[in-house]
Amino acid sequence: MNRRKLLSVGALLALPGVGAALPARAQGADDMDMPSFPPPAGATVLFNGQDLSKWVSRRGGGPAAWTLRDGYMEVKPGSGDIITSQTFMDYQLHVEFWLPLMAQAQGQARANSGVYNQGRIEVQVLDSYGQPPKDNEAGGIYKVAVPSRNASRKPEKWQSYDIAYRAPRHDANGRQTAKGHITVFHNGLLIHNNVEFDAQVTTSGLEGDVTKPGPILLQDHGNLVRFRNVWIIPSPTA
């Protein structure tokens, strides 16, 4: 059901039978927070709800200026993207996020943020609830790959991404010798299975030397998106 359309044509709900599916829809998991578990032993905790010490501002590298509150961090619009001080090549990453309801906003303006891998490859964060999957909607690898399904929950519910990332490889001359690979689970459901990408594919991520490790980047797209329980397990790089 296209909830966004229902909101914009609310008068239709007054017609007999039209709104009948809504209560059934509201009973599903879409209405529930994803459960949150402590990081596994050996994980590198990037954010545990207490402080932003592992993060810096993308702009200038000073302290991350996002708001810290009640165990989560929230985008402070205009303060810019934040990045981890530590950089990574290959890893498993867990991120939990919460999207505000922006009922009047449409498309890319609706609770937009993003999780950038190696500072470059964005897994889109967006309120796409009920929308068809696209490469710029929730779970899309921006401009690279359409998710196999839209596993979004409703706004104002905690959701999760679990990402397995392998950076592209290059030879000593900087020539790409192997594509990157990314697998993504959205709210526990597989949405990208070992998708290949080229190093040069990036949108608003960090530029620079694509042969080097990069940070995890969380995007300030001007919306009050929240994050919590962020951890990473770097893989032995071969």
Give me the residues that bind Mg ion (CB under 5 A), please.
Answer: 112, 114, 219
Rounded to a whole number of angstroms, the minimum distance from the CB of residue 203 to Mg ion is 8
Q: Among residues 26 and 112, whose Cβ is nearest to Mg ion?
A: 112
Q: Give the residue among 123, 96, 129, 107 at the shortest CA–CA distance from 225.
A: 96
Q: Among residues 114 and 215, whose Cβ is nearest to Mg ion?
A: 114
Residue matched to tokens 């690898």: 141
Spatial contact of 5 and 18, defined as CB atoms under 8 Å apart: no
Q: Among residues 64 and 111, whose Cβ is nearest to Mg ion?
A: 111
Rounded to a whole number of angstroms, the minimum distance from the CB of residue 110 to Mg ion is 11
Strand partners, 166: 181
Q: Among residues 106 and 237, whose Cβ is nearest to Mg ion?
A: 106
Q: Among residues 114 and 155, whose Cβ is nearest to Mg ion?
A: 114
* Chain centroid to CA 56: 18
**Which residue's Cβ has the minimum distance to Mg ion?**
114
Radius of gyration of the chain (CA): 18
Q: Among residues 203 and 235, whose Cβ is nearest to Mg ion?
A: 203
Rounded to a whole number of angstroms, the minimum distance from the CB of residue 161 to Mg ion is 13
Rounded to a whole number of angstroms, the minimum distance from the CB of residue 198 to Mg ion is 20
Spatial contact of 94 and 120, defined as CB atoms under 8 Å apart: no
Rounded to a whole number of angstroms, the minimum distance from the CB of residue 185 to Mg ion is 19
Residues 6 or more apart whose Cβ sits within 8 Å of residue 102: 109, 110, 111, 127, 155, 223
Buried b (16+ CB within 10 A) or exposed e, 178-200: eebbbbbbbbeeebbeebebebe
Rounded to a whole number of angstroms, the minimum distance from the CB of residue 80 to Mg ion is 14
Structure tokens at 169: 């490889």
Strand partners, 63: 56
